[in-house]
Amino acid sequence: MKRPRGKGATLRRGDKGFDAAVLATSFSGRDPGRRPDIYIQANKDADVVAAVKLAREQQHRISLCSGGHSWAQNHLRDGGMLIDLSRLNAIVIDAGARTARVGPGCWSIDLDRALKRVGLFFPVAHAPDVCLGGFLLQGGFGWNSRALGLACESVVGLDVVLADGTQVHASAEQNADLYWAARGAGPGFFGVVTTFHLKLHERPKVTAMIMQVFHERWLEDVFTWAHAIGPSVSSSVEFQLLITPKTLFTGKPGVEVLAPVMTSSWKAAREATAFIRQSPVRKRASVSTPLLPLSTMRMSEGAAQTHFPPKMHWCVDNMWTDAPIADLMPGLRKVSDTLPPAPSHALWLNWQPNRARPDMAFSMEAGFYFAAYGEWRHAEDDARYSTWATDRISEMAHLGKGIQLADENLGRRKARFMSDTNHGRLEQIRAHYDPDGRFNSYMTAP
């Protein structure tokens, strides 16, 4: 993605440059064919208030984007108004108080970089250009989130423009139900967040990664080991497996074992990743790296280059699972056997929530997370690949508890994304704050 340039403008269907400007809001290069009637690029909070009031007057439904990383292009709907928050990207850090005020259009890597200068940390997303707007609303599985919690757990307040055009602050003390909803509602939130108030953390002294690469013939052995060892892996390690048609170093189909680690010393980092060096499958690895120091910025940029190049066409789907590995294995093998070409991949993340969460809308997680990311460059291949991720995850869905909104695909497949109790409460809060349904809610499968 590119950072927004110049002063934001308002464009309507039929205006010169309208189509290109609307499509440029998306990380995905795919044209879903959906267009708003009016597209407003906000420069400041007052523009958002004015836009929402205009939408009320003219009876437009509203959709929103900050960084446009919704795989499903949730912000592109037919008709209505699209408000683009990418220019609201200010970062104001109070290092002494360990707090920050950040706009929804702020890139993950920009906040990480700014905090590094003052020795502080926030669990931003793993790709540089994912913006805080969508990331924080859906929960936020960021760097070191296994240890620090979901990123939204470090949101202490939000400034929100409501459906009636008023701007309010939401926190545990003020508009507490809105605050509850904003931590997990994701693309179904019913207000415009113009500022996030964040609690900051101490920056880990050591950030490093160890990696092993396996040929696809060892997939069953690697997953059986990873599944068994997962619950005992330290929360300082983001232990994950990537199934890919083109592994790093060998270029062959297989599994990459990746373990970024964040600790207060090298000794602790080595101890936390010892399970990889000592694993029973290690002798099968084509490549084993030592534990290498790598900043979160370098790892994010690396992931963007290798796995998330811009303007690709995507199909993505996912599931949380606690199922036995023997039950999951046929599905994992089929994902590997049917992957579209690189950089398509599937992610197996050892999540293992190990503490109670605060009361908030976010309420769906499990021991393991599995997501399939199909990507291709040309529109001619849309018909060939566009259902791949949903086909594979649908086949395994009986083994899952539900989905993560980060990688949601609700427009194609109906799935549970929060507990039934929380979903019920969210809809009650929506009815209070947005009785006319001014804001588009979740996409629904046809």
Ligand X SMILES: Cc1cc2nc3c(=O)[nH]c(=O)nc-3n(C[C@H](O)[C@H](O)[C@H](O)COP(=O)(O)OP(=O)(O)OC[C@H]3O[C@@H](n4cnc5c(N)ncnc54)[C@H](O)[C@@H]3O)c2cc1C
Which lies closer to ligand X via its Cβ, residue 279 or residue 344?
344
Please report how close the Cβ of residue 357 comes to ligand X at its closest, in angstroms. 15
Tell which one of 272, 406, 426, 429 touches ligand X (CB under 6 A): 406
Which lies closer to ligand X via its Cβ, residue 65 or residue 170?
65
Please report how close the Cβ of residue 429 comes to ligand X at its closest, in angstroms. 14
Cβ atoms of 397 and 390 closer than 8 Å: no
Rg of the Cα atoms in the chain: 21
Cβ atoms of 88 and 45 closer than 8 Å: yes
308 is an interface residue for ligand X by CB under 6 A:
yes
- Which of 44, 64, 36 has its CA nearest to residue 163? 64
Which residues 6+ apart lie within 8 Å of 189 measured at CB? 137, 181, 182, 439
Please report how close the Cβ of residue 74 comes to ligand X at its closest, in angstroms. 4
- Which of 295, 296, 73, 103 has its CA nearest to residue 194? 103
Tell which one of 42, 60, 74, 291 touches ligand X (CB under 6 A): 74
Please report how close the Cβ of residue 365 comes to ligand X at its closest, in angstroms. 12
Angle at which helix 388-396 crosses helix 325-338, to 10 degrees, equals 160
Which lies closer to ligand X via its Cβ, residue 188 or residue 254?
188
85 is an interface residue for ligand X by CB under 6 A:
yes
Tell which one of 130, 226, 259, 262 touches ligand X (CB under 6 A): 130
d(CA 109, CA 136): 14
Please report how close the Cβ of residue 329 comes to ligand X at its closest, in angstroms. 26
123 is an interface residue for ligand X by CB under 6 A:
no
Which lies closer to ligand X via its Cβ, residue 187 or residue 230?
187
Tell which one of 22, 23, 61, 66 touches ligand X (CB under 6 A): 66
| Three-state secondary structure call for residue 38 | strand
d(CA 273, CA 278): 9
d(CA 418, CA 360): 10
Please report how close the Cβ of residue 192 comes to ligand X at its closest, in angstroms. 5
370 is an interface residue for ligand X by CB under 6 A:
no
Angle at which helix 325-338 crosses helix 219-229, to 10 degrees, equals 140
How far are the Cα atoms of 208, 275, 321 from residue 211, in angstroms, in the given order?
10, 12, 24
346 is an interface residue for ligand X by CB under 6 A:
no
67 is an interface residue for ligand X by CB under 6 A:
yes
348 is an interface residue for ligand X by CB under 6 A:
no
What residues line the site for ligand X (CB under 6 A)? Answer: 27, 64-71, 74-75, 85, 104, 125-127, 130-131, 133-135, 137-138, 140-142, 187, 189, 192-193, 308, 406
